[in-house]
Structure 1
Amino acid sequence: NERYINKIGVNTIWISPINKTTDKAWQEYPEPHRFYTGYHGYWPVSPDETEPRFGTLTEFKQLVKAAHQHDLKILLDFVSNHTHIEHPYYQNHRDWFGTYDLPDGTKNIRRWDEYRLTTWFDTFLPSFDYENSAAAVDTMTDNAIWWMTETGIDGFRHDATKHVPYHFWRELTRKIKTEVSPNRNLPVYQIGETFGGDDLIKSYVNNGMLSSQFNANQYFILRRLFTDENSDLNELQTAIEKSNTVYGYNNLMGNIIGSHDQIRIMGLLEGDITLSENGVARAFREPAIKVDKQSTYQKEQILLCYLLTIPGVPIVFYGDEFGMTGANDPDNRRMMRFDDELSAQEKAQLLVFSKLSKIRNQFACLRRGDYLNLYTDKNVMVYSRGDSDNRLIIAFNKCQKDKNIVISPPGWMTIPSLEPLIGTVTSDIEGGKVSLIIPALGYGILQIK
């Protein structure tokens, strides 16, 4: 009701699964055989009951209604790959599920790529055997439609997309288009989660299946480049160009700088944890991860600028908008904080994010415009986004020294002057060339006037 989401310029909320989950701790099969609970929501034990610790179905409907009244959309996380063994579907329909016992005597547990469509996440999380059970496909796609029509949500984030066969997604999308879309003013948005090559990721994104997937490959490159001083931004530029080639400039792929499955970006930028460490194990060790360096906030501001200006849909993991830190799960799921619970630096970071978000909302070229790289070296990247109404230039510098660069725009790009919209980049134009001074760990968005 205080409109926090509106104030920071966000228009959609992705909510993790709200299905009722098991209330017991379960021991994982792989070493070190830790005990876990289903606090995250991905171990459902009911197809239509909500987790009582979150609230009732009626309360969730009220939340969706309130969001719509504030011009916000709701995406609900839908788990189609598996259930928990306490789920009535598994209890009553074992023939809908596969087995984790392989002919060679080994266990098909977390063999993500070798047995992509049949592997189990654990011994207590049975995967559906959609290839051999039409009843399972029909039941689970109907369940997804029920959540849409019953609650009024606007779309889905689909868990473990690559572990579910194509025909499931075709059937779900067919039902959405015939049973849901005719009664909606906006198309239903479906975003999947797949870790793998671009060919695999793209194979799920088309008119007959999903709207998009998370652009995880670009994210993995991005975080490595900003935690290694010897890295080269040309690698990021190559990744952006590849993404544009595979998905197009006006793609709906989900760009991220963090997620609930990864180490918090601020923990990496601060140097409290490295990519080579076990982020889950670090979550349970002292000292607690916290942000001490001003430079960490500066680095994240660059990443936020990148996130809100490249082609695709920016997706912000809660807390990243003000610099929340942490290791991996469960330390990356710290309680959300607001207002006076934020430090002075976190409040300043939130203001930067809000300004960047406002600029994205103001300029359609950042949402649907072209993309043109103007300059890239080891530490500096400069690119342009434009359409028939506006053209912007975005620049950032990831090193600890100021950089002065000169770019020669293409002949069709006339630049009489540049007006800074945000950041500390200064410019000078002479003889058709543009000089940019980009401070250490600085960034800027400039509008061609």
Structure 2
Amino acid sequence: MAGEVLVEKQEEQSLKLKVTNKSHVKPEEKIGKKEYQLVTFDLPYLAFYYNQKLLFYKGEGFEGLVEKLKDGLAVVLKEFHQLGGKIGKDEEGVFRVEFDDDLPGVEVIEAVADEVAVADLTLTESSSILKELIPYSGVLNLEGMHRPLLAVQFTKLKDGLAMGLAFNHAVLDGTSTWHFMSSWAEICCGAPFPSVQPFQERTKARNTRMKLDLSLPEPKSPPPSANGDAKPEPVLREKIFKFSESAIDKIKSTVNEAPPSDVSKPFSTFQALSTHIWRHVTHARSLKPEDYTVFTVFVDCRKRVDPPMPEAYFGNLIQAIFTVTAVGLLSAHPPQFGATMIQKAIEAHDAKAIDERNKDWESAPKIFQFKDAGINCVTVGSSPRFKVYDIDFGWGKPEIVRSGPNNKFDGMIYLYPGKSGGRSIDVELTLEPEAMGRLEQDKEFLMEV
């Protein structure tokens, strides 16, 4: 089977997790007082939740591994000290990252769940169990005014270690997240400092001072249902679909077989796979032909802005791009139809479009939530370009990399490179149960041989 579905355990499992220690890690040298203004690219994410990642490693000697990780963290925080700071405001109400040597630093939690093996967790569908392994579930980025901007949880398993991380998404995007992770791994493997230093001058990308009057919302109770009871949150399922290199090549070659005359270049792997997912998820939802469906992708703008920013730019340099069509049109046409729409939307997002988007936002700031991605949406975050399986702290590559429950909704996708390497890609997808059930039976989606 080319597009393999990770088998899940049906029974709800208890981790019997016990927290054994809580501490904080600061940069190993004094940094002094530093301030970094949050810019237009950062501010819309204040109402998102902390961005969570979860990496599983095989290995023994948990205490020694954790000590090495904490020592490496203290070293890497010299360069990435923003993560040891907090969110604050200046006297004019402009949000910024504030670092001071007196702040507590990165929160580190140590825990034990040693009756559970790595393999038990890497094959689990639901994140309800995994939630125990990652800090700050349900915590808004705005709470970074009172919490560390990075929290890490190391959990001892029967035969390894789970590393759960929560990054404040108002402070950094995926590119910066994995730059930090790879730098931390380099330090733990003996490098004296990161091979690529973070570029921390946010105002080089946009230097508009935005004053926002934001405070943490009051806790909301769920809206009542028809019978007066509290309406529960919709139940969603999460699953990883693993597409092998040969499956990805087949998807890409199929969409490039007869390209429309109005496309400028062959469809990329991302465009081909995105269309494949968009069409089949839309079909699995059993929508009406006249219903609309939206494809949303968060695009890295580092090379798109003018002047371009370095890859090592530390912060958020992403913007959401939306593509809308009728379900009937998407289904009736071959995959080239959807791929063309996606390609044109991505190509059109140049420096001029980015500047116009920023000016529009600055004239009427809108603090949106992750789930505002559109009706019947398929939304892609993360990227198979991130070398997540190269994050080796000195005892091997991760067994699997996943995202946590934060910022997930019906139609949310995280793409990761497959562990088998090459051009394989893992698709971590969240859907309503009925649609997920139909997608699991869709042999054309799974690319079964």
TM-score interval (norm. to shorter): under 0.3
User: Normalising by structure 2, what TM-score?
Assistant: 0.22
Larger radius of gyration: 1
User: Normalising by structure 1, what TM-score?
Assistant: 0.22
**Structure with greater strand percent:** 2
Higher relative CO (Cα under 8 Å, sequence separation at least 6) belongs to 2
